[in-house]
Chain A
């Protein structure tokens, strides 16, 4: 009975994480489209929410990596998964509060790894899986997006450079409807699957499923719905950082950044790498900006983002480990997760009441 209570708390927390992932990472998908005025904020967020929902149904490769490639599923308990999720949500909320586009994916992986390490020691963590499936792609992806976007925008300027700037801007604004949509779709395929993987892991840990089973449909549908709702609610603070504080973009740069980002994420989803969509689009934006003029990139803001990237895995791991320790203070039953979950809900309520105020301000500004 206690185990089932913990399982349902885990499922609810995982969906809450998915929701925060949606509103945290909305910026990735739509910030460039909004900042170049390719789409109004409401339309951009609406399209992103819809395509995040659709994208969640397209592939399950990343879910498989999360469920079985990073920690030992046989040693995992629902309490470990819960503590990891709390670590991820706490880090997401902290970086959201400061407007830093850190990685929800790495927060999730860090939180679960930290909690598993605290509970079972090093034997619970697949070191090689963590390095090869998370750390190396995490280093490669932003650089890859930066290089691709940079090269793409240089070629684009060479092709359209002698045309009237207004005509070129108008053309690429139309193109950004497609590139932004493609990026939203790729975000749904990669990010919603992480939550599916976590819920699947909890169901296996609780004995409801075997490790070789497929992901149940209700898990796919609920994860898709949560990320779409979160996306629609939107993360306006981070939209500001992504859309205008790294560089002031023209529509061609926005198109190149989104096109390169979508290409990287779709290719990575195909291979089963749980990439950070935030890292990818940030790299794309920096590449598109630096290719035009290195000084166009606000490297101070970019530096803050890199610091947040570096801190995400260890910080979420520490919070995950501490949360596991706190839940264990209340014994093996459901009391610990219930207490922590209530505290988390309270924190989310406080955070959202402030977010709504910030959202109104930005929308009014256009």
Chain B
């Protein structure tokens, strides 16, 4: 009985490890792209490069959507189990 219990817990632990690494890194990387997009977009606007400003603005928006989706997905996943 005890070994089966141990196996179940170990699989949960492995799941926690990979989900944490994936989510933790994704959230920071996504937000870094938001910061990059906003900074480069502002810089491009100052130098009069409208196309670049638009492209980096779009990058910022997409990254922000990804970041927000990750946060909502994380909380929602926990809600569905709890």
Note whether A and B form a binding pair: yes
| Bound Cα distance from A5 to B20, whole angstroms | 43
The one of A58, A140, A171, A179 that contacts B35, using a Cβ cutoff of 8 Å:
A171
Give 1 or 0 for each of B1-20: 1 = CB within 8 Å of chain A CB: 01001100110110111011
Instruction: Report the bound CA distance from A272 to B25 in whole Å.
Output: 22
Given contacts A149-B24, A263-B24, A270-B81, A255 and B19 within 8 Å (CB-CB): no
Is B36 a contact partner of A160 (Cβ separation < 8 A)? yes
Contact: B9 with A133, CB < 8 Å?
Answer: yes
B1-58 residues with Cβ-Cβ distance < 8 A to A are 2, 5-6, 9-10, 12-13, 15-17, 19-21, 23-25, 27-29, 31-36, 38-40, 42
- B21: which A residues are within 8 A, CB to CB? 144, 147-148, 151, 263
Taking a contact as CB atoms closer than 8 A, the residue among A59, A128, A149, A267 that contacts B19 in the complex is: A267
- A274 to B73 Cα, complex, angstroms: 21
Q: Which residues of A contact B74 (CB under 8 A)?
A: 182, 262-263, 266
> Contact at B28–A273, with CB atoms within 8 Å?
no
Do B35 and A60 touch across chains, with their CB atoms under 8 A apart? no
Q: Which residues of A contact B39 (CB under 8 A)?
A: 160, 163-164, 167-168, 171
Once the chains are docked, how many angstroms separate the CA of A256 from the CA of B24?
Answer: 8
Residues of A contacting B10 in the complex (Cβ-Cβ under 8 angstroms): 132
**A210 interface residue per 8 A CB criterion:** no
Candidate in B15, B24, B71 with the most chain A CB atoms within 10 angstroms: B24
Question: Smallest CB-CB separation from A127: which chain B residue?
Answer: B2
B82 touches A156 (CB 8 A): no
Q: Give the distance in Å from the alpha carbon of A266 to the alpha carbon of B19 in the complex.
A: 10
In the complex, the 5 A-B pairs of residues with the closest C-beta atoms, listed nearest first: A59-B82, A171-B35, A152-B28, A260-B24, A148-B24
